[in-house]
Amino acid sequence: MAADVHKKKGWEVPNGSLAPGDGQHAERAESPTPGLAQGTEPGAGQEGAMFVHTRSYEDLTSPEEGGAAARSPPEGPGEPPAPPQPSSMEQISKDFSELSTQLTGRALGEEGPLEAAPAAARRDSLLPAKEDEDVTMDAWRLRRKHVFVLSEAGKPVYSRYGSEEALSSTMGVMMALVAWSPLPGSPVVFVRRSPLVLVAVARTRQSEQEIAHELLYIYYQILSLLTWTQLNHIFQQKQNYDLRRLLAGSERITDNLLDLMAHDPSFLMGAVRCLPLAASVRDAVSTSLQQAKAKSLVFSILLSGNQLVSLVRKKDQFLHPIDLHLLFNLISSSSSFREGEAWTPICLPKFNSSGFFHAHISYLEQEMDLCLLLVSTDREDFFTVSDCKRRFQERLRRRGVQHALQDALRTPFYSVAQVGIPDLRHFIYKSKSSGLFTSPEIEAPYVREEEKERLLGLYQYLHSRAHNSSRPLKNIYFTGPRENLLAWVTSAFELYICYSPLGTKAGAISAVNKLMKWIRREEERLFILTPQTY
């Protein structure tokens, strides 16, 4: 199988824990529990997709810039059908004992951010070196990332920290970089999207690839305000145009996006999280939304925090998760949407980077964290669209689901304790075919902000290892001083679990099995299985 040759190529396994025969990715995906083939995994939509079909996060990179390389090797369409598989438990266990790559905290410089360095170094030295990666005493609280956007002519467009005034030239940016002195070895990542150049210098442990993805999000964020067409037009007219004039007042939206990406796994997963909601309630909400339609409406989206409650779309029109993330970001970046009704032009760059939609944004009720977003093609249609909102609310009332909805909003996150696996602390599960993921609330011991970020950092690290363009890993077993993690990436889903450092690998494997069953049982509540159209 050609695909397998491709997969194996470049797999260096320092500790030799990876069995030679790695020819079972695709088959394995189908085997362990019923429905792990793409489209039948837990969380996969039952009646078609809601989003543009995205394989994963890599879709961020369009083909022209190494996107193809970043993509996981094709799961050869010509592959023979899977051979009969052993029972799920056995299979998972086999995968992880034979095929997993064992990583340790050491690889991550993961030795207690806020602890004294000597202690950390000591612990470090006790850990067998398994991966040849540079180790630094990087304090997690210094997880900071400088981001600059410049025009190709070198004019500053955006700077995350410090005023662009001071950075009024490429030279200024370089000076700032030097003054800030990134850690030795931290990459300076450039992404060029003519007419813009985006630069990041990070103290994070993210891979260059992931930082590049974040920069692309920033690029799309800028497009969402201007459209690609307008942006190009401007610079064709005047090469050294000062784009800050046009972007004035929206730096905050970009700031917010960068902060959000550091906290919310949605961006990392390239997927959307749903508000846990009883299927009957969600259906009633979706139907109400569906009925409150208007000719010019393309998408009706109800969201709570950064979780999706319901999405109704025009037939044949698919939203891209990235566009939805940009909408989430827009909404969370401005408290003013809570007041009145907003009507704003917005470009959804993955959908159509050359034109504006017009978004009607409002909260349903002041105290409720429930934001309605109606995306229209007609800028003159404010009153029609505003009326859709009124009709939607009326229908909700008539269906009597408001209370159930309110209840659900009171507990927007579920506890990992519900799964009933004692050592399990947290997990992220993504269904690839639906572009949706689920994840419990982050609980103790990840209470403080930097602890939460550290956990996300661990996921980021595993994610980058799993998606590394030259050495993608399918099964990763990570042991760190404070927790163990396990990552499992198949053609149908991605699963990352975090569990107690005392838990054994065997324990983790049985946890995966239980967890998958639990997700399957709860999938109606955790995902949107039947996406609606108008």
Partner 1 sequence: MEQTATPNAVASTSLDRTHPTYTYKVVLLGNTSVGKSSLAYRYVKNDFKESLPTVGCSFFTQTLCLEATTIRLEIWDTAGQEKYHSVCHLYYRGAHAALLVYDITSKVSADRAKLWLQELEKEFFHDEIVIALVGNKADLAAEREVTTEEGEEFAQSKSLLYMETSAKSNYQVNELFTAVGRSVVVDECWAAPAQGGAAAGPSRGPAPQRPALAAGRTAPRA
Q: Report the interhelical angle of 449-466 vs 251-263 (nearest 10°).
A: 80
Q: How far is the CB of 258 from partner 1 (least distance, A)?
A: 16
Contacting range for partner 1; rule: CB under 8 A; set: 44-52, 342-350, 395-403, 510-518: 342-350
CA gap 361, 358 in Å, rounded: 10
CA-based nearest residue to 475, from 25, 43, 42: 25
Q: Total residues at the site for partner 1 (CB under 8 A)?
A: 35
User: Which of residues 103 and 330 has its CB atom nearest to partner 1 in the complex?
Assistant: 330
User: Which of residues 136 and 377 has its CB atom nearest to partner 1 in the complex?
Assistant: 377
**What end-to-end distance do the CA atoms of the chain give, in Å?**
44
> Cβ neighbours of residue 161 under 8 Å, at least 6 residues apart?
146
User: Which of residues 251 and 450 has its CB atom nearest to partner 1 in the complex?
Assistant: 251
120: contact with partner 1 by CB under 8 A = no
User: Which of residues 28 and 395 has its CB atom nearest to partner 1 in the complex?
Assistant: 395
Type of residue at 162: G
List the interface residues with partner 1, window 242-261 (CB under 8 A).
Answer: 245-250, 252-253
List the interface residues with partner 1, window 395-434 (CB under 8 A).
Answer: none
149: contact with partner 1 by CB under 8 A = no
Contacting range for partner 1; rule: CB under 8 A; set: 5-13, 119-127, 173-181, 241-249: 241-249
Q: Angle 68-434-519 (CA atoms, 0-180°, nearest 5)?
A: 120
User: Which of residues 77 and 249 has its CB atom nearest to partner 1 in the complex?
Assistant: 249
Chain centre distance of CA 72: 17
| E strand or H helix at 232 | helix 228-237
> Cβ neighbours of residue 152 under 8 Å, at least 6 residues apart?
192, 194, 195, 196, 197, 235, 239
Q: Phi/psi zone of residue 19: left (φ > 0), alpha (ψ -120 to 50 degrees), beta?
A: beta
Q: How far is the CB of 353 from partner 1 (least distance, A)?
A: 16
| E strand or H helix at 122 | helix 117-126
User: Which of residues 190 and 382 has its CB atom nearest to partner 1 in the complex?
Assistant: 382
343: contact with partner 1 by CB under 8 A = yes
User: Which of residues 231 and 312 has its CB atom nearest to partner 1 in the complex?
Assistant: 231
| Radius of gyration for the alpha carbons in the chain, expressed in angstroms and rounded | 23
Q: How many CB atoms lie within 10 A of CB 114?
A: 12
344: contact with partner 1 by CB under 8 A = yes
Q: Which of 99, 108, 191, 225 binds partner 1 (CB under 8 A)?
A: 225
User: Do the bridges between strand 357-363 and strand 371-376 make them parallel or antiparallel, or are there none, so unpaired?
Assistant: antiparallel
Q: Are 401 and 293 in contact (CB under 8 A)?
A: no
Per-residue tokens: 110: 């993961």
Q: Are 450 and 465 in contact (CB under 8 A)?
A: no
383: contact with partner 1 by CB under 8 A = yes
334: contact with partner 1 by CB under 8 A = yes
Q: How far is the CB of 8 from partner 1 (least distance, A)?
A: 50
Per-residue tokens: 198: 């985006």
User: Which of residues 65 and 341 has its CB atom nearest to partner 1 in the complex?
Assistant: 341
Residue 220 is classified by DSSP as: H
Which parts of 370-504 fold into alpha helices (H)? Answer: 382-399, 402-410, 449-466
Contacting range for partner 1; rule: CB under 8 A; set: 41-49, 356-364, 399-407, 526-534: 356-364
Q: How far is the CB of 379 from partner 1 (least distance, A)?
A: 6
Q: Which of 80, 116, 179, 336 binds partner 1 (CB under 8 A)?
A: 336
Q: How far is the CB of 415 from partner 1 (least distance, A)?
A: 33
CA gap 501, 503 in Å, rounded: 5
330: contact with partner 1 by CB under 8 A = yes
Q: How far is the CB of 345 from partner 1 (least distance, A)?
A: 4
Most distant CA pair in the chain: distance in Å? Answer: 67
Contacting range for partner 1; rule: CB under 8 A; set: 69-77, 101-109, 369-377, 384-392: 384-392
Residue 87 is classified by DSSP as: -
Q: Which of 380, 400, 410, 444 binds partner 1 (CB under 8 A)?
A: 380
Which whole-number Å values give the CA distances from 85 to 44, 79, 392, 473, 520, in the listed order?
A: 22, 16, 48, 21, 20
359: contact with partner 1 by CB under 8 A = yes
User: Which of residues 64 and 380 has its CB atom nearest to partner 1 in the complex?
Assistant: 380
327: contact with partner 1 by CB under 8 A = no
Q: How far is the CB of 342 from partner 1 (least distance, A)?
A: 5
User: Which of residues 212 and 226 has its CB atom nearest to partner 1 in the complex?
Assistant: 226
Residue 373 is classified by DSSP as: E
Q: How far is the CB of 159 from partner 1 (least distance, A)?
A: 19
User: Which of residues 250 and 434 has its CB atom nearest to partner 1 in the complex?
Assistant: 250
Per-residue tokens: 107: 């690889």
CA gap 266, 438 in Å, rounded: 9
User: Which of residues 186 and 227 has its CB atom nearest to partner 1 in the complex?
Assistant: 227
237: contact with partner 1 by CB under 8 A = no
339: contact with partner 1 by CB under 8 A = yes
Q: Which of 335, 400, 444, 502 binds partner 1 (CB under 8 A)?
A: 335
Binding site for partner 1 (CB under 8 A): 225-226, 245-250, 252-253, 330, 333-337, 339-346, 356, 358-359, 361, 379-380, 382-384, 386-387
